[in-house]
Chain A
C-alpha cells in the first residue's frame, strides 16, 4: 500500500536555528514528490516538485532533497514567517492522484 509518513509531527525552533523535516514514502513507481506549505485557515501552497533521487530544489531559506526512500525539507536560518504546516505528497501513476502525509507543524520563535 502506498504510504507517506512525515516526522516530526511538530517542531519548535528559535529564529536562525536550522533544521530538517523528513518525509518517508513507500510507493510503487514514484512519479513525483511534492512539498506544500499550509498556513492556518488557508489552502496548501505549492513549494517544490522532485522527480528523481539526487534531485534538489531551493527557494529562499528552503531546500528540498530526494532519495529513493525519503525526502528532506531543510530550513536554513528560519524566520518567524516560516511558521506553518509543511505537507509532503507523492504521486504514483499517471492520474495525478496525490497521497499526502499528515504534515509537520513548524513554529519559529523570535
Chain B
C-alpha cells in the first residue's frame, strides 16, 4: 500500500467553523490531490498540487483552499464550513506516471 495517511479520519463540526484536513505521504511523490465523494456525483477534484507551493484549482474548488509547504504534506482548509461540504474527502498522490494512489478518506459532517 502506498504510504498515505489522512487526519482526522472522522470529524463533526458546526456550520461556520474553519476545518483543516491533512494528507501525509511517505512516497516522495510530486503530485497530490484532494477529492470529495458524494452519492450521485462520484469523485470530484477539489484542488491539486504539482510541487511544493504549486497548487491549482479543480472542478469544485469554491469554499476550499489548500497549502503545500513540504513535499509530504498537503492541507485542505474549509474557511467557513457549510452543510453542503458534508462529504467524504480523499487525498491521492501520483508520480510522473499519473497513476493516483488514494488515502483512506476523511468523513466530514457539518451540522
Number of B interface residues in the complex (CB < 8 A): 24
Main secondary structure of the interface of A (DSSP, over half): strand
Nearest CB of A to B36, in Å: 11
A49 interface residue, CB < 8 Å from B?
A: yes
Nearest CB of A to B24, in Å: 14
CB of B50 within 8 A of CB of A96, answer yes
CB of A98 within 8 A of CB of B104, answer no
Number of A interface residues in the complex (CB < 8 A): 22
Residues of B within 8 A of A97 (CB): 33, 45, 48, 58
A95 CA to B30 CA, complexed, in Å: 11
A binding-site residues for B, Cβ under 8 Å: 31-32, 34, 36, 41-46, 49, 87, 89, 91, 95-98, 100-103
Residues of A within 8 A of B104 (CB): 42-43
CB of B42 within 8 A of CB of A95, answer no
With A95-B48, A96-B94, A97-B58: A46-B100 Cβ-Cβ less than 8 Å? yes
Closest chain A residue, CB of each to CB of B4: A43
Residues of A within 8 A of B42 (CB): 87, 100-103
